[in-house]
């Protein structure tokens, strides 16, 4: 048996709609198959100040993973992200009109990871309906060759040359029956904005190593030395637009492309939009550039504005119509996010602002000066209905039971009654894996990795969609029989113990390997932990009566978050979790049960704890045909009805 370092969901046709159907099953406030978000609006905090507009303005999405029906649970922070893709479509339409009224440019870009596993073909049809100017490929488009081929044949053409895969190729059979390797989309794009500004754009994927057969990902360091790249950047545009599926600070991929451009064009404005690590972040590599990363799962809409040199220090107007541009002698201001201005520019300066928007109707209506009566466009309503119909097609609202309260991964300590990890391994797995299992009466210890649970469970109806959202991975449960309890009980603490410097180095090396194959949970969790520590979460919430949400600290000036929140409580969790050990004598033989994901590590640990027997894969067999992504649903049917 082989232990995979990274697994993708078994059935991501479901996961391409990673949205709770709570609004349909619990609210009852819908008609003609459409969801209604009106009831959530009074509970949401409006934005703190208007957006700052410049000559060029860009809306950014990334790592949506098909989360197109919005977050519809009632526990915070979920209501912050309750806007669906139809609402977002209406928002974009109104923002485009505002841009025309202001006589400025507004672009819409996406940094990849539309997919979440096997098949996102259906949900991608809705992505096509928005006026994206540039989209980039993500690593989740490459775990399956069939996905990559679908993106190449059916999705990329809809962008008319603006779906970019600068360093990603696919091997295909062309119309003449010849085998050839070609970019999944295009390597770069050159175009003009509505205002006539010349743009050169790239869509670069970080150094991903987990791609499927017949796809290739070129190292970014090699890509920037290619003749085509050097030729593409030879002519100077009004600005470069890098829309890549790569972190803007975690590794040096973005900096490599930036430096290659800067070597040829030292002062040309560069706007960078990244992704992959699921965090909100902003950096400025110099005073004529800005790089933005805009979260995950449609929990963030990124906003960047730039006032370019051709403005020559003239006021471009803020939301009250008054000009605020004043020549300041150096023009290197990067903006103040307090609603009073966004930097001052002159003929030598470029100024930037950025904002992280919570995607919900309150946010969308505030920034477009609309209300519930005139916000929805016909296209937006059509998209919402289409997504709802698609969810019904896959029966995502099928209810297993009713969760008695919230179960979270990090907001509650582990172990505890409110911990999703405790729920999964201490309660759900023992119940579900005992079904039709002849070994159910034999004492056991069950072990899995904590990363097997990917999203919180909230109080209320627990649906098929919730099951796939919380526990998407299709890991199999294996076991080794007749392991003495005294030895089996040491496996979990040994797995979790960092130990010597050598072991820490091994763990770091493994983490880097996992990162290369697409694993970003560690980065995201560290971000949440730092957020809670920096902001003294609960004290701040009590003092200011703030709702839970993201509280972003980045290296760009001013406050980036559009709405002020209290940070989510964060409790660290161990890498591995286990069931409650049975009460038996030390020499009692028990079943050691574990997921295939950790098989190799577990065998190494087991052999290090005793010398009586050298355990190998020959000692391992299947414990149950039930996979991890079915555990919670089976438990809910048994315990939550």
At 168-187, the pLDDT tens digits run 999 999 889 999 999 999 99
Q: Residue 525: its pLDDT value, please?
A: 93
CB–CB of 54/307 below 8 Å? Answer: yes
- For residues 22 and 127, state if they share a domain: yes
Averaged pLDDT, 360-369: 97
CB–CB of 581/490 below 8 Å? Answer: no
The answer to whether position 250 is within a domain reads yes
Given a cut of 70, whether residue 343 has pLDDT beyond it is no
* Element counts in the chain: helices (H) and strands (E): 19, 24
Q: Residue 322: its pLDDT value, please?
A: 40
- For residues 492 and 588, state if they share a domain: yes
Please give the residue that has the higher pLDDT: either 54 or 346.
Answer: 54
**Spatial distance between the Cα atoms of 111 and 117, rounded to a whole number of angstroms:** 17
Q: What is the pLDDT of residues 508-528, one digit of tens each?
A: 776 777 778 888 888 999 999
Given a cut of 60, whether residue 326 has pLDDT beyond it is no
Query: pLDDT band for position 309 (50/70/90)?
Result: confident
> Pairing between strand 270-274 and 239-243?
parallel
**Spatial distance between the Cα atoms of 86 and 359, rounded to a whole number of angstroms:** 11
Could you tell me the CA-to-CA distances from 310 to 53, 168, 264, 324, 327 in Å, in that order?
Answer: 15, 35, 21, 15, 12
Task: Report the chain's mean pLDDT, rounded to a whole number.
Answer: 87
Q: Residue 540: its pLDDT value, please?
A: 59
The answer to whether position 4 is within a domain reads no
CB–CB of 512/523 below 8 Å? Answer: no
Given a cut of 90, whether residue 62 has pLDDT beyond it is yes
Given a cut of 90, whether residue 327 has pLDDT beyond it is no
- For residues 535 and 507, state if they share a domain: no
Q: What is the pLDDT of residues 215-243, one digit of tens each?
A: 999 999 999 999 999 999 999 999 999 99
Q: Residue 198: its pLDDT value, please?
A: 98
Domains: count for the chain? 3
CB–CB of 11/364 below 8 Å? Answer: no
Q: Residue 36: its pLDDT value, please?
A: 42
DSSP string covering 285-341: SSTTEEEEEE-STTS-EEEEEEE-GGGTT-----TTS-------SS-----BTTTTB
Query: pLDDT band for position 315 (50/70/90)?
Result: very low
CA 220 to chain centre: 22
- For residues 301 and 450, state if they share a domain: no
- Cα R_g (the chain), whole angstroms: 25
CB atoms within 10 A of CB 285: 17
β strands within 350-505, DSSP E? 351-357, 399-403, 444-449, 460-463, 476-484
Question: By CB neighbour count within 10 A (0-12 exposed, 13-18 middle, 19+ buried), where does 639 fall?
Answer: middle
User: Minimal CA–CA distance to 202: which of 261, 262, 285, 281?
Assistant: 261
CB–CB of 277/524 below 8 Å? Answer: yes
- For residues 70 and 212, state if they share a domain: yes
pLDDT-above-90 percentage for the chain: 75
CATH number at residue 628: 3.90.780.10
**Spatial distance between the Cα atoms of 548 and 556, rounded to a whole number of angstroms:** 23
Please tell me the pTM assigned to this model: 0.87
- For residues 138 and 166, state if they share a domain: yes
**Spatial distance between the Cα atoms of 476 and 627, rounded to a whole number of angstroms:** 5
Task: Encode burial over 337-358: b for 16+ CB neighbours within 10 A, e otherwise.
Answer: beeebbbbbbebbbbbbbbbbb
Q: Residue 519: its pLDDT value, please?
A: 80
Query: pLDDT band for position 312 (50/70/90)?
Result: very low
**Spatial distance between the Cα atoms of 425 and 431, rounded to a whole number of angstroms:** 10
Q: Which long-range contacts (CB under 8 A, 24 or more apart) does 500-503 make?
A: none
Query: pLDDT band for position 626 (50/70/90)?
Result: very high
DSSP class of residue 186 equals B
The answer to whether position 82 is within a domain reads yes
The answer to whether position 5 is within a domain reads no
Q: Residue 597: its pLDDT value, please?
A: 85
Segments forming the whole domain that contains residue 139: 12-391
Domain boundary at 510, 536, 565, which?
Answer: 565
Structure tokens at 400: 């297993």
- For residues 513 and 430, state if they share a domain: yes
Q: Residue 341: its pLDDT value, please?
A: 37
> Pairing between strand 289-294 and 270-274?
parallel
Q: What is the pLDDT of residues 580-603, one digit of tens each?
A: 999 999 999 999 999 998 998 899
**Spatial distance between the Cα atoms of 159 and 366, rounded to a whole number of angstroms:** 30
Domain boundary at 356, 391, 426, which?
Answer: 391
Domain boundary at 565, 600, 629, which?
Answer: 565
User: Which range is least confidently modeled, 36-45, 205-214, 411-420, 562-571?
Assistant: 36-45
Q: Residue 502: its pLDDT value, please?
A: 56
Please give the residue that has the higher pLDDT: either 273 or 542.
Answer: 273
Q: What is the pLDDT of residues 204-213, one digit of tens each?
A: 999 999 999 9
The answer to whether position 609 is within a domain reads yes
**Which residues are registered as beta bridge partners of 293?**
274, 281
Non-local (6+) Cβ contacts of 274 within 8 A are 62, 111, 244, 245, 246, 247, 248, 254, 281, 291, 292, 293
User: Which range is least confidently modeled, 50-54, 174-178, 446-450?
Assistant: 174-178
Averaged pLDDT, 143-150: 94
Q: Residue 581: its pLDDT value, please?
A: 97
- For residues 370 and 434, state if they share a domain: no
- For residues 493 and 357, state if they share a domain: no
Averaged pLDDT, 55-82: 95
The answer to whether position 594 is within a domain reads yes
**Spatial distance between the Cα atoms of 90 and 380, rounded to a whole number of angstroms:** 5
Q: What is the pLDDT of residues 380-411, one digit of tens each?
A: 999 999 999 999 998 989 999 999 999 999 99
User: Minimal CA–CA distance to 638: which of 398, 397, 400, 399?
Assistant: 400
Q: Residue 586: its pLDDT value, please?
A: 97
The answer to whether position 255 is within a domain reads yes
**Spatial distance between the Cα atoms of 164 and 174, rounded to a whole number of angstroms:** 20
User: Minimal CA–CA distance to 11: which of 632, 633, 630?
Assistant: 630
- For residues 294 and 427, state if they share a domain: no
Query: pLDDT band for position 497 (50/70/90)?
Result: confident
**Spatial distance between the Cα atoms of 209 and 216, rounded to a whole number of angstroms:** 9
CB atoms within 10 A of CB 130: 19
CATH number at residue 262: 3.60.21.10
- For residues 420 and 473, state if they share a domain: yes
3-state SS, residue 245: strand
Q: What is the pLDDT of residues 599-617, one digit of tens each?
A: 988 999 999 999 999 999 9
- For residues 349 and 304, state if they share a domain: yes
Given a cut of 70, whether residue 375 has pLDDT beyond it is yes
Structure tokens at 545: 């009566």
The answer to whether position 269 is within a domain reads yes
User: Minimal CA–CA distance to 78: which of 299, 289, 237, 240?
Assistant: 299
């Amino acid at each position: 048996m082989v232990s995979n370092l990274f697994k993708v969901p078994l059935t991501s046709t479901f996961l391409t709609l990673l949205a709770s159907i709570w609004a349909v099953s619990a609210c009852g406030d819908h008609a003609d198959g459409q969801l209604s978000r009106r009831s959530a609006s009074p509970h949401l905090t409006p934005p703190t100040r208007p957006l700052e507009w410049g000559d060029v303005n860009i809306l950014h999405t990334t790592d949506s993973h098909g989360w197109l029906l919005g977050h519809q649970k009632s526990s915070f922070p979920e209501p912050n992200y309750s806007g669906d893709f139809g609402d977002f479509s209406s928002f974009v339409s109104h923002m485009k009109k505002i841009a025309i009224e202001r006589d400025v440019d507004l672009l819409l870009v996406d940094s990849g990871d539309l997919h979440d596993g096997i098949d996102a073909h259906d949900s991608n049809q809705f992505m096509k309906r928005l006026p994206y100017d540039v989209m980039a490929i993500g690593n989740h488009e490459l775990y399956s060759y069939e996905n990559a081929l679908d993106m190449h044949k059916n999705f990329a053409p809809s962008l008319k040359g603006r779906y970019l895969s600068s360093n990603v190729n696919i091997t295909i059979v062309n119309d003449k029956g010849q085998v050839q390797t070609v970019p999944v989309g295009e390597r770069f794009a050159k175009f003009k904005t509505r205002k006539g500004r010349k743009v050169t754009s790239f869509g670069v994927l970080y150094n991903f190593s987990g791609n499927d057969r017949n796809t290739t990902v070129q190292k970014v360091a090699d890509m920037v030395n290619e003749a085509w790249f050097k030729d593409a950047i030879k002519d100077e545009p009004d600005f470069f637009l890098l829309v890549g599926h790569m972190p803007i600070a975690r590794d040096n991929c973005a900096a490599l492309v930036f430096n290659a451009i800067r070597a040829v064009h030292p002062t040309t404005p560069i706007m960078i939009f990244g992704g992959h690590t699921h965090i909100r972040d902003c950096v400025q590599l110099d005073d004529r550039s800005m790089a933005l990363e805009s979260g995950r799962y449609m929990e963030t809409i990124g906003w960047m504005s730039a006032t370019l040199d051709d403005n020559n220090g003239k006021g471009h107007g803020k939301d009250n119509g008054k000009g605020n541009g004043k020549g300041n002698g150096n023009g290197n201001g990067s903006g103040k996010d307090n609603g009073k201005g966004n930097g001052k520019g002159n003929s030598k300066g470029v100024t930037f602002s950025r904002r992280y928007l919570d995607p919900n109707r309150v946010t969308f209506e505030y920034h477009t000066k609309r209300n519930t009566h005139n916000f929805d466009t016909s296209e937006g309503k059509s998209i919402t209905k289409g997504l709802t119909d698609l969810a019904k097609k896959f029966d995502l609202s099928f209810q297993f039971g009713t969760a008695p309260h919230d179960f979270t991964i990090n907001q509650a300590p582990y172990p505890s009654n409110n911990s999703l990890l405790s729920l999964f391994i201490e309660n759900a797995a023992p119940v579900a894996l005992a079904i039709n299992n002849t070994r159910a009466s034999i004492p056991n210890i069950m072990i899995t990795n904590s990363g097997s649970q990917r999203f919180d469970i909230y109080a209320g109806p627990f649906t098929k969609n919730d099951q796939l959202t919380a526990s998407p991975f299709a890991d199999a449960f294996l076991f080794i029989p007749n392991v003495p309890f005294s030895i089996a009980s040491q496996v979990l603490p040994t797995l979790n113990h960092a130990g010597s410097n050598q072991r820490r180095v091994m763990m770091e090396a493994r983490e880097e390997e996992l990162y290369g194959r697409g694993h970003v949970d560690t980065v995201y969790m560290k971000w949440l932990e730092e957020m809670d520590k920096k902001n003294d979460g609960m004290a701040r919430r009590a003092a200011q009566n703030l709702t839970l949400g993201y509280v972003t600290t980045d290296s760009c000036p001013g406050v980036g978050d559009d709405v002020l929140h209290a940070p989510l409580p964060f409790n660290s969790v161990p890498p591995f979790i286990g069931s409650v050990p049975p009460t038996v004598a030390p020499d009692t033989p028990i079943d050691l049960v574990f997921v295939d994901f950790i098989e190799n590590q577990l065998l190494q640990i087991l052999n290090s704890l005793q010398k009586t027997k050298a355990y190998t894969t020959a000692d391992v067999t299947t414990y149950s045909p039930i996979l991890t992504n079915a555990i919670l649903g089976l438990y809910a049917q048994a315990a939550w009805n």
